Chain A
Amino acid sequence: MANSSKHILLVDDNPLFLKLLARAFDKAGFNCYTASSGSEALLYLQKQVPDAILSDYEMPEMNGLEFRRNILREDRLKDIPFMFLTGFDDEKIRYSGLDLQAIDYVIKDTPVEVIIAKVNNLLHAVNKQRELSELEIRQTVAALNIKAVPEKVPAVNGLAIDFWHQDYQQIPGGDFIDFIEADGRYLFIVLGDIMGKKWKAWFFTFTYLSYIRAAVRFGVSDTDNSTASILQKINNVIYHDDGLRDILSSVALLRVNRETGQLSYAGAGDLPLLHYRAATQQLVQINSSGLLLGLLPEGNYTEQDIIMNAGDELFIFTDGLIDFAFGENKKSDYTAFAAKLQEHMANKQSFNELKHGLQQQSAQLVDDSSIIHIQKTT
């Protein structure tokens, strides 16, 4: 089993044994961190969440049981697979350890290869269980037929619309996309990003989408269909919805007039769009003024028209695309993404090629990522 990405925290007050253990785990492909006491380990756990913890039972000051109790008090840490190392086969320790939800215990005399095999088995079992739970949620979601991204792209004369979306670690997250046909004349394009990750963010995408769809339809029937006033209407509802008190979202909202091809845009805490002008072969940043939905009663939303000439392209994207991982570190860099996109355009590459490239790199993504592409064809 390959463990190259597995982090383990080893805790023991015997420096020689700790060194031996660390060397063996290192060799087996683990990333090890060692701590010579429970309190040192707890300090480390303030910053890092390892995949597993292997801790000595008999330690001065804070013994293994106390260390374990401290971990169990923190929601963030309590589910990390935990194993006790005991100096001897003591039934009492075994039972009190199990009582503290230690998943296993190992006697220190056990050959180190066997200890590693036990940790591997433990991680394997935990992963399997996690996969099964996720599979169950996925199957339920599939049965409910709810999706935060559409299956089809709309057809509009003179425009080619397409998108790419990737969940973070294959778990649905906070990004959502929608194409709303308000009436025969107007198409609304929505790209949103609920702050947060994974399932928790994902559950709220539907509440947001329901409000957005309702506001767009009310907007059109009210004859006030400006993207800015639609965002303000959504903001009014979300700001006062107690169920969404801590849940904020960015949204880019575009309205396409099918008859004239005119594009209008307002943004709420979204990243600036990038407009590729065929005439100058340059990308231009389009900034909006609005704040994240739900933050303040007045979101300061303003609408602007985006004039697209034949061959122009528009990119609307979420922050997952501007986050980069390099080695152990990560950074957010909008300018780097814009430069990459400029290079892509200079090489006369299509959106399909961009999608292909993004797909290839999707393992390195550090958040949900979505991009909508609109090209003026005629």
Chain B
Amino acid sequence: MEVNLTEANLSHSERFKSELISLLNEKQRSIWINMQQVTYVDSSFLGALVAALKHAISIQRDVVLISLQKDIDDMLKLIRLDKVFKIYNTEQEAKQAIV
């Protein structure tokens, strides 16, 4: 899945969360999210990502974040979310690490 937004915020968060959760339920597989284009994530959107992660963990799956921009990567580290999301610089790197 690719987040085709530069600013990921409140107006997208509910739909994004329900899409992620129904994808997890349907496919029963981990979700890879490419965040390359996203320069800012507000707390609602981050809340949606984390809610999906919690759901993924409950069915023993992962949420993989790929190509995070530096500001967002830094913020996730500051609040320890790098310990729960799987984070990779590129899809290639993620494939090598996971598959």
Contact = CB atoms under 8 A, between A and B. Distances in A.
Interface residues of B, number: 34
B11 A76 contact: yes
B44 A269 contact: no
Given A196-B43, A246-B51, A333-B71, A47 B4 contact: yes
B43 A195 contact: yes
A76 B14 contact: yes
Given A46-B4, A333-B71, A193 B81 contact: no
A367 B42 contact: yes
Interface string B15-45: 1010000000000000000000001111110
A250 B68 CA distance: 22
Nearest to A330: B40
Contacts of A245: 51, 54
Given A269-B79, A329-B7, A174 B15 contact: no
Interface residues of A, number: 41
Nearest to A295: B54
B40 A331 contact: yes
B5 interface: yes
B47 A332 contact: no
Interface stretch (A127-135, A147-155, A285-293): A285-293
Contact of B79 (A49, A74, A292, A333): A292
Contacts of A367: 42-43
Contact of B42 (A250, A294, A366): A366
B75 A332 contact: yes
B49 to A, nearest CB: 9
B17 A334 contact: no
A49 B7 CA distance: 12
Interface centre among A198, A331, A366 (most CB of B within 10 A): A331
Interface in B45-63: 46-47, 50-51, 53-54, 57
Interface string A161-204: 00000000000001000000000000000000101111001000
Contact of A289 (B75, B78, B80): B80
A54 interface: no
Contacts of B86: none
B95 interface: no
B74 A291 contact: no
A12 interface: no
Contacts of A322: 75
Contacts of A269: 79-81
Nearest to A49: B11
Given A76-B14, A367-B42, A290 B80 contact: yes
A333 B40 CA distance: 10
19 contacts: A76-B12, A174-B43, A195-B43, A197-B10, A197-B42, A246-B47, A247-B51, A248-B47, A291-B80, A292-B50, A296-B54, A296-B57, A322-B75, A323-B42, A329-B7, A330-B40, A332-B75, A333-B71, A366-B42
Interface of B: 4-7, 10-15, 17, 39-44, 46-47, 50-51, 53-54, 57, 71-72, 74-75, 78-81, 83-84
Please give me the 5 A-B residue pairs with the lowest Cβ-Cβ distance, nearest first: A195-B47, A246-B51, A330-B40, A196-B44, A332-B75
Given A196-B43, A296-B84, A335-B74, 10 more contacts: A195-B47, A201-B44, A245-B54, A269-B79, A271-B79, A291-B84, A295-B53, A296-B54, A331-B40, A367-B43
